[in-house]
Amino acid sequence: MSRLDSFIRRLEAQRACLDHAADLIRDLPGRILEIGLGNGRTYDHLRKLLPDREIFVFDRQIAAHPDCIPPAGYFLPGDLRETLPIAAQLFGPTAALIHADIGTGDVAANRQLAAALGPTVARLLMPGGVAVSDQPMPCLAALPLPSGVAVGRYHLYRSATA
Ligand SMILES: C[S@@+](CC[C@H](N)C(=O)[O-])C[C@H]1O[C@@H](n2cnc3c(N)ncnc32)[C@H](O)[C@@H]1O
């Protein structure tokens, strides 16, 4: 498979998992967390899927497309290792859907970061909440992937207290 094919499949898997997760939590009131704003593509997708929800967004700084900048008060800048635990203290287990898209080119660093953030993601999920992640988070309980998404290409988890 070429790197282009692999990239396209990753984005297709990402979109399929976000669409599926939005369906799973449609009747579960709760905030949405987007971890990794980047260019803002998945943030934009989430706000179109769930237009009535509050979406809180995390990244080091804003470097998104001008159309995809969160409103004042909904962007929490800084290193995720610091900002997510603060959010967990402030919000408690109130997130219906958490999307973590934190990968860079460094596979080992990605795995390390995801392993470090997983327990905090678990603390933020409300009962019945769903987490979607580009990296494995082994401390969470896996959910079946939507059809067409190969195991390991993207990750879907549920709250331990579902
Ligand atoms: C793959 S990009 C996100 C792409 C985005 N979801 C989109 O669709 O445009 C990963 C993002 O995670 C952020 N990130 C990675 N590690 C981080 C850390 N330790 N603290 C804060 N942000 C981090 C990077 O700054 C980058 O913007």
Of the candidates 90, 92, 93, 87, the one whose C-alpha atom is nearest the C-alpha of residue 28 is: 93
| 15 C-beta closer than 6 A to ligand 1 | no
Percentage, residues of the chain above pLDDT 70: 99
Instruction: Indicate the domain borders of the chain.
Output: 3-158
Per the prediction, the chain carries an average pLDDT of: 96
Torsion angles phi and psi, residue 156, rounded to 5 = -130, 130
Q: What are phi and psi of 151, to 5 degrees?
A: -55, 130
Q: How far is CA 93 from CA 63, 73, 104, in A?
A: 28, 19, 28
Mean pLDDT across 3-32: 97
Q: How confident is the model at residue 105 (pLDDT cuts 50, 70, 90)?
A: confident
Model confidence pLDDT, tens digit, residues 66-89: 999 999 999 999 999 999 999 999
**Does the structure show a pLDDT above 80 at 29?**
yes
With a 6 A CB cut-off, is 118 part of the ligand 1 pocket? no
Look at the pTM and tell me if it is higher than 0.85: yes
The CATH homologous superfamily for domain 3-158 is Vaccinia Virus protein VP39 (3.40.50.150)
Cβ contact 142:156 at 8 Å: yes
Which ligand 1 atom minimizes the distance to the CA of 59? 22
DSSP-derived 3-state class of residue 11:
helix
- CB of 39 shorter than 6 A to ligand 1: yes
Nearest to 34 by CA among 112, 124, 113: 124
